[in-house]
Amino acid sequence: MQKEWQQGRSVFRKPGRSLIILILLILCLIISGCSRKEKETPADTGTGSDPGSLVIGFSQLGSESAWRLGNTESMEQAAKEHGFRLIVENGMQKQENQIAAIRSFIAYRVDVIVFAPIVEDGWANVLQEAKEAGIPVIMMDRLINIKDSDLYTAYIGPDHYQEGVNAAKYLLKKADELEEDMSENDRIHIVELSGTEGSSPMISRFQGFHDLIDRDDRFEVLETVSGDFLRSKGRECMQKLLKKYPDEIDVLYSHNDAMTLGAIEVMEEEGIEPGKDIVIISVDGEQAAVDLLKEGRINCVVECSPMLGDAVMDLAQAIVSGEDYPRISRPEESCFTEYDDLSSLGPRGY
Ligand code: AHR
């Protein structure tokens, strides 16, 4: 026994060649096992089989609307087509979930982080951490409010201020028509359903619209209430607004289609004809809203495109490969109104 123990100890002290090879082999296996490219998460999409392909961590803010679902789908589809691995984390409308997701992407050492920030404020610390880890960050869809703009690499998304302006421009044209039936002191009464408080589309769609409407004294905004970009809250808000202003509402300006659809349901339950008794302006351009526009139950749909996936993947590739890339890119967007010929408008895809 004594002898065996001594033999064992002497082998440990002076390792033979085969033992050293075995230890090196085990070490190699441990290191490759920990490598991020081998890690599987349930939300992974894309093949990621090419060792040169990118791993992208995507913090989506939620799944509150058809727009948002279309946006997530566009990211997943584009990642597949580019052969990238996309790790999607749904923030479920909570900033703290998004911050935790970004931290997990940093720990995982992804190649690029993409995130759609639920609100504008409160991102400086986590973005500083990403910067220190040397991971580029692409902001998608929404903007943030930050002193040091070097904390993100690029932004890709719609111009929400312009969307508000487009909504107002349609209303200015419509007002010329409404004016004909108005007496001298009459005003056009507007109610506004705004999006998530503190989010960049809510702030900018409000601003773009008010910058044009507030200086025209034909208009009066009765109230702006937040429906949080949700159909259910759009319903709730419209019920309250109709109770408070039973015969006064001439125009509904709604910051997204989901809330508009909820509001229209309520109007119809109350015997109000949307698009005729109340002029309806909506933002997004999802299929359901465009169908209602064609039926005359919505008057104007301001387009906001969620199909950003391809452009995001190209941008990520350019950043990682050290090519030139635009710091800010915006998709082309349109505005569809009752005055347009909509017969050639194809399927929306969201
Ligand atoms: O940030 C874009 C907005 O977010 C879309 O208008 C809306 O539908 C979504 O919730």
**Ligand 1 pocket residues where CB is under 6 Å:** 64-65, 67-68, 141-142, 201, 229, 256, 258, 283-284, 304
CA atoms of 305 and 100, how far apart (whole Å): 27
Ligand 1 mean position to 100 CA, how many Å?
22
Please tell me the predicted confidence (pLDDT) of residue 185.
87
pTM: 0.86
Cα end-to-end span (Å), the chain: 76
Q: Check residue 20 and give its pLDDT.
A: 55
pLDDT band at 42 (very low <50, low <70, confident <90, very high): very low
**What residue owns the CA closest to ligand 1's atom 3?**
201
pLDDT for 52 equals 55
* Best CA proximity match to 195, nearest among 165, 145, 219, 160: 160
Indicate whether 11 pLDDT > 60. no
Question: Does the domain at residues 51-156+308-329 carry the CATH identifier 3.90.79.10?
Answer: no
By C-alpha distance, which of 270, 271, 199, 273 is closest to 229? 199
What is the 290 CA–ligand 1 centroid distance (Å)?
A: 16
Question: For residue 12, is pLDDT > 90?
Answer: no
What's the gap in Å between 318 CA and the centre of ligand 1? 27
Distance 107 CA to ligand 1 centre (A): 29
CATH superfamily for 160-304 is Response regulator (3.40.50.2300)
**pLDDT tens figures, 106-127:** 999 999 999 999 999 999 999 9
Same fold, 51-156+308-329 and 160-304: yes
Would you say residue 258 has pLDDT above 60? yes
Q: Tell me the pLDDT of the chain averaged across its residues.
A: 89
- DSSP notation for 122-170: S-HHHHHHHHHTT--EEEESS----S-GGGSSEEE---HHHHHHHHHHH
Ligand 1: residue of 304, 305, 330, 348 to mutate (most ligand atoms within 8 A of CB) is 304
| Model pLDDT, residue 99 | 98
pLDDT at residue number 181: 87
| Mean pLDDT computed over 44-71 | 81
Amino acid 178: pLDDT: 93
Q: Residue 34 above 50 pLDDT? A: no
pLDDT score of 292 more than 70: yes
Contact, 152 vs 139, CB < 8 A? yes
Annotated domain spans of the chain? 51-156+308-329, 160-304
